[in-house]
Amino acid sequence: MLLVANWKMNGDSTLLAQMHQALLAIKLAEGDVIICPPFTLLAAAQQLFADTAIAIGAQDVSSEENGAFTGQISAKMLSQLACSYVIIGHSERRQYCLETDTLIAAKCAQAQNAGLIPILCVGENAEQKARNETEQVVLAQVRSVLDNLQKDQLAQLVIAYEPVWAIGSGQAAAPELANNVHGMIRAAVAEYDVKAAAAMQILYGGSVNADNIAAFLAQPHINGALIGGASLKPDVFVQLIQKSE
Ligand code: PGA
């Protein structure tokens, strides 16, 4: 099981210290909880969470290895800050930064080449859902990345299904319906590698909270969650973790 806290453009060193205190007070299995703060807090997170069961992730990475790309952060830079994961292709980056499937696929490849595990975000928006295009949209997003990875890299990939209409809206998807989409994603991965598909962690994201996390995790194809708003309050996030056990 994986619980990934996506802080987005929120948080500061005080919140990081409070989260550290709150998480130290509970028992966690190694690597089950990943904190993804903004870039500027990664070095502090590295120090605070070293020697804990908690892993660190970033929220984005460059599609380039190095060079004249002002403002970008490379996968190698992230791995030097003890990041083990990186969120790639979040719908907010697809929407506000106009990230394409091609760019996202290149970012995933860069991340993997530097030893980071990409958390690839996919999901349909409200209009696409209304047109019954969920399967088509999600599988195209998944396949554009899988087509670009070596077969042996599939074991080092996490996919997060995040229906765009559910993000930050308080309207989570119905767990059974999300599970159906997760099943379709797993079947699509199996077209590339059956073993990797069976072992792949496929997360749900979109208005996950302490009250609904257990219902998501009870679904056979849902292996964890990507959590935005509910990961910004240490007491709420701790409650959510405890409901996941
Ligand atoms: P939310 O965000 O939990 O606030 O809906 C999830 C996400 O965007 O990853």
Q: How far apart are CA 209 and CA 44, in angstroms?
A: 26
Report the candidate in 77, 46, 84, 80 with the shortest Cα–Cα distance to residue 62: 77
Q: How far apart are CA 130 and CA 120, in angstroms?
A: 23
1-16 pLDDT per residue, tens? 999 999 999 999 999 9
pLDDT for the residue 180: 98
| pLDDT for residue 151 is more than 90 | no
| pLDDT for residue 147 is more than 90 | yes
High-pLDDT (> 90) share of the chain, %:
98
Q: How far apart are CA 201 and CA 198, in angstroms?
A: 9
pLDDT for the residue 190: 97
Q: What rounded mean pLDDT belongs to the chain?
A: 97
| pLDDT for residue 70 is more than 90 | yes
Is any atom of ligand 1 closer than 6 Å to the C-beta of 89? Answer: no
| pLDDT for residue 245 is more than 90 | no
For the segment 221-236, the average pLDDT, to the nearest whole number, is 98
pLDDT for the residue 49: 96
pLDDT for the residue 140: 98
Residue reference for tokens 């056979």:
220
Cβ distance 122 to 166 under 8 Å?
Answer: no
Cβ distance 52 to 82 under 8 Å?
Answer: no
Cβ distance 15 to 232 under 8 Å?
Answer: yes
pLDDT for the residue 131: 98
Residue reference for tokens 């030893």:
115
Query: b vs e for 63-86, b when ≥16 Cβ sit within 10 Å of the residue's Cβ?
Result: beeeeeeeeebbbbbbbeeebebb
Concerning whether 191 is annotated as a catalytic residue, the answer is no
Tokens representing residue 150 in the block: 């070596």
Work out the burial of residue 48: count CB atoms within 10 Å of its CB; fewer than 13 is exposed, 13-18 middle, 19 or more buried: buried
pLDDT for the residue 207: 98
Question: What residue owns the CA closest to ligand 1's atom 2?
Answer: 228
Residue reference for tokens 């292996």:
223
pLDDT for the residue 40: 98
pLDDT for the residue 159: 98
Of 92, 99, 124, 162, the catalytic one is: 162
DSSP 116-169: PEEEEEE---HHHHHTT-HHHHHHHHHHHHHTTS-GGGGGG-EEEE--GGGTTT
Cβ distance 36 to 84 under 8 Å?
Answer: no
155-176 pLDDT per residue, tens? 999 999 999 999 999 999 999 9
pLDDT for the residue 115: 97
Is any atom of ligand 1 closer than 6 Å to the C-beta of 206? Answer: yes
High-pLDDT (> 70) share of the chain, %:
100
Is any atom of ligand 1 closer than 6 Å to the C-beta of 36? Answer: no
For the segment 113-120, the average pLDDT, to the nearest whole number, is 98
Report the candidate in 226, 190, 222, 221 with the shortest Cα–Cα distance to residue 208: 226
pLDDT for the residue 72: 98
| pLDDT for residue 133 is more than 90 | yes
Concerning whether 162 is annotated as a catalytic residue, the answer is yes
